């Protein structure tokens, strides 16, 4: 655990996600859907990173207070930054990266000035995840029958690879479900498929490395301008990862076994999310899970009726 560096300012403390009461969690401002659904996950007792919200109407003093409060509570000298604010334009700040406190303050101030809310969370390392999964909950218009789908990647990947990186999952699990009445799935109900051939793995790793160069290392300041071609981007990112001792992307791991051990618990989590969702007419929900090594955390809940197709997987 790293001791937090203090930002000198006459700051006021900000409420942490972990300190909110039941009423405060229920009353989370839905103009900020990531934050509101983090509060929902907290209400459901599902693990999340501790976090604090700063809105565009708050000033720099409030931002400094939020950074100081979270850094001191978590005893860290780095924080992760996400942006929030409803529907996102094609070119929006993708977030999810971790910065030293001073850099986090600068990055967050720019987002607030642009009209985006900022969610500050405990730091993570996007290069060392042991597994990543997206849980998707599809339901028909009558509000009962549908499907449960898990798409997963193994060590060295992160959630954004599945949600916006165009990287195909290594393991996919689907099951029919009745979201109006809980029934524990039988093993025979779960259909697993894998895509881990040599060519698929080579292409997947290449795409991941290129995204590290273009989306992550440029944002964190480790790379000023990515090389022009995907192959050059991937080669640069691979050299950087190996130089810094991040070898997880090349680690052997039985992902199918790891998912098998977790799948029934994830179904229970998905059912709680579905049955407790505040909008009764939903037809597609999704949440993402990251295995950080010492724990798994949920990120938020997406009401994907407009964002995701509701076609059932084939």
Kindly list the domain boundaries of the chain, sorted by start residue: 17-121, 131-303
* Strand order through the sheet with 117-121: 51-54, 117-121, 78-84, 97-100
Q: What is the pLDDT of residues 187-215, one digit of tens each?
A: 999 999 999 999 999 999 999 999 999 99
Q: Tell me which residue has tokens 């790293």.
A: 2
Rounded Cα gap, residues 289 and 299, in angstroms: 6
Q: What is the pLDDT of residues 54-109, one digit of tens each?
A: 999 999 999 999 999 999 999 999 999 999 986 555 556 778 999 999 999 999 99
pLDDT(7) > 50: no
Q: What is the pLDDT of residues 133-146, one digit of tens each?
A: 999 999 998 889 99
Q: What is the pLDDT of residues 234-254, one digit of tens each?
A: 999 999 999 999 999 999 999
pLDDT(258) > 90: yes
Least confident of 10-14, 93-97, 260-264, 281-285: 10-14
CB atoms within 10 A of CB 10: 7
pLDDT at 166: 87
Summary mean pLDDT of the chain: 91
Rounded Cα gap, residues 146 and 86, in angstroms: 26
What's this model's pTM, rounded to 2 decimal places? 0.89
């Amino acid at each position: 655990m790293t001791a937090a560096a203090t930002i000198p300012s006459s700051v006021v403390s900000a409420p942490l996600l972990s300190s909110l009461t039941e009423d405060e969690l229920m009353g989370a401002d839905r103009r900020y859907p990531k934050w509101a659904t983090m509060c929902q996950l907290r209400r459901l007792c599902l693990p999340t990173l501790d976090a604090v919200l700063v809105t565009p109407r708050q000033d720099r003093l409030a931002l400094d207070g939020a950074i100081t409060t979270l850094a001191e509570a978590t005893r860290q000298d780095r924080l992760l930054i996400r942006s929030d604010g409803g529907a996102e334009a094609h070119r929006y700040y993708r977030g999810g990266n971790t910065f030293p406190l001073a850099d986090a303050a600068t990055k967050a101030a720019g987002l607030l000035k642009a009209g985006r809310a900022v969610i500050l969370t405990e730091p993570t390392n996007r290069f060392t995840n042991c597994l990543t999964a997206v849980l998707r909950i599809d339901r028909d218009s009558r509000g009962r029958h549908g499907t449960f789908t898990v798409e997963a990647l193994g060590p060295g990947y992160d959630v954004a690879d599945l949600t916006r990186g165009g990287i195909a999952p290594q393991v996919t699990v689907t099951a029919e479900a009745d979201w109006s009445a809980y029934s524990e799935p039988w093993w025979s109900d779960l259909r697993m498929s894998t895509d881990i051939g040599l060519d698929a793995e080579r292409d997947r790793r290449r795409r991941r490395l290129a995204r590290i160069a273009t989306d992550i290392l440029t944002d964190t300041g480790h790379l000023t301008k990515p090389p022009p071609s995907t192959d050059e981007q991937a080669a640069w990112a691979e050299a950087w990862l190996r130089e810094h001792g991040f070898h997880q992307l090349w680690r052997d791991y039985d992902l199918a076994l790891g998912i098998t051990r977790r799948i029934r618990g994830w179904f229970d989590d998905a059912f709680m999310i579905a049955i407790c969702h505040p909008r009764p007419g939903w037809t597609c929900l999704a949440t993402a899970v990251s295995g950080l090594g010492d724990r798994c955390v949920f990120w938020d809940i997406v009401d994907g009726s407009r964002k995701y197709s509701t076609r059932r997987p084939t």
